[in-house]
């Protein structure tokens, strides 16, 4: 659809948003970098800010993208990646 010689998709303000570097429902291994004002963990996947609830900075987790917005994405934790401390704790639990 065209209006006044300009394509419909170019209407609006500023430049259009580029394609997102994440896909809905896809899983990613990430490290939480910051905490948002709402208390959610923040990570960046190829530059796209992603909010992950119930996480804190330094957590290494596997996430699944649940929502993609123009400027950010939201995800949920699928699994916590075992770090050095987690592996020791699992080994102690097995021996007991």
38-61 confidence digits (pLDDT tens) = 999 999 999 999 999 999 999 999
Q: How confident is the model at residue 81 (pLDDT cuts 50, 70, 90)?
A: confident
What does the pLDDT read at residue 88? 42
Q: 42 lies in a domain?
A: yes
Q: 39 lies in a domain?
A: yes
- Give the integer Cα–Cα distance in Å for 96 and 89: 11
- Give the integer Cα–Cα distance in Å for 75 and 73: 7
Across the chain, mean pLDDT equals 81
pLDDT over 50 at 75, yes or no: yes
Domain containing 54 equals 26-82
Any idea what the CATH number is for the domain that residue 39 is in?
2.40.50.140
pLDDT over 70 at 95, yes or no: no
Q: What is the DSSP letter of 84?
A: H
Q: 95 lies in a domain?
A: no
Angle at 42 between CA 64 and CA 74, to 5 degrees: 40
Provide the domain count of the chain.
Answer: 1
- Higher pLDDT: 64 or 90? It is 64
Q: How confident is the model at residue 89 (pLDDT cuts 50, 70, 90)?
A: very low
41-45 β-sheet, strand order: 27-31, 60-68, 72-80, 48-52, 41-45, 34-35
- Which has the closest alpha carbon to 60: 37, 39, 78, 36? 78
């Amino acid at each position: 659809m065209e209006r006044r010689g300009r394509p419909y998709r170019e209407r609006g303000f500023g430049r259009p948003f580029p394609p997102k570097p994440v896909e809905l429902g896809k899983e990613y291994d990430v490290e939480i970098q910051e905490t948002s004002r709402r208390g959610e963990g923040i990570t960046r996947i190829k530059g796209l800010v992603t909010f992950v609830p119930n996480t804190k900075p330094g957590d290494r987790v596997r996430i699944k993208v649940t929502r993609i917005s123009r400027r950010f994405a939201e995800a949920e934790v699928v699994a916590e990646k075992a770090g050095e401390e987690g592996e020791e704790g699992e080994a102690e639990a097995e021996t007991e």
